[in-house]
Amino acid sequence: MLNFKVLVKYTGGEIDGAIEIGGYAKLVSPASILIFDMGGIRWVATLNDAAIAAEKAKPTAKGADLLAKYGADTDPAALAAYQLVAEGRAEAVWDQMAESIEDEFISSAYAKIARDEGFHSTIGARKLETLAGSDDEQARILGLVAEMRKDLFEVSCLNTTTTDESRQLVADAYGW
């Protein structure tokens, strides 16, 4: 039996309740329709445009927001470094989730995402091989990578709970 909290938002208010059900929920196309199937009882929830817009407007920290900080739109080395670091980091995270999930279907889906992120990281690495020819450019890129790692860790901290111990672990790993 699944135990989860259902939060239903609609124009004019909010209903918040906790229920236990056996079943599943899936998002279907168009993306504004959610179907809950609970032992033969089917609920269909429709999200209106205002609800979808409100969800999109929620502030969430995204690593991709860092692309502008590093000028990746005009600096091919910054873009390649971001691909290498951020996508490689994403590969490690998705791979760890795949290993820790007991459900075989979800685990294999996460493993597939991890492989895709690893492929993106490899693209960045190969591009850097062609761009980091001089010692000065290599030093500049290594500086970008060090700063990106710190920024990406901070993004993670904004989306989760952080502890002094986790900060110390990362600082020790990267020599901060």
Which residue did the predictor score with more confidence, 147 or 57?
Answer: 147
CA–CA gap between residue 86 and residue 126 (Å, rounded): 15
Domain extent listing, the chain? 2-57, 63-174
CA–CA gap between residue 131 and residue 170 (Å, rounded): 28
The proportion of the chain whose per-residue pLDDT surpasses 70, expressed as a percent, equals 65
- pTM beyond 0.75: no
pLDDT of 173 > 90? The answer is no
pLDDT tens, position by position, 54-102: 556 666 667 778 888 898 889 999 999 999 999 999 999 899 999 998 8
The pLDDT of residue 145 is 93
The pLDDT of residue 176 is 84
Q: Side chain identity at 64, as an amino acid letter?
A: A
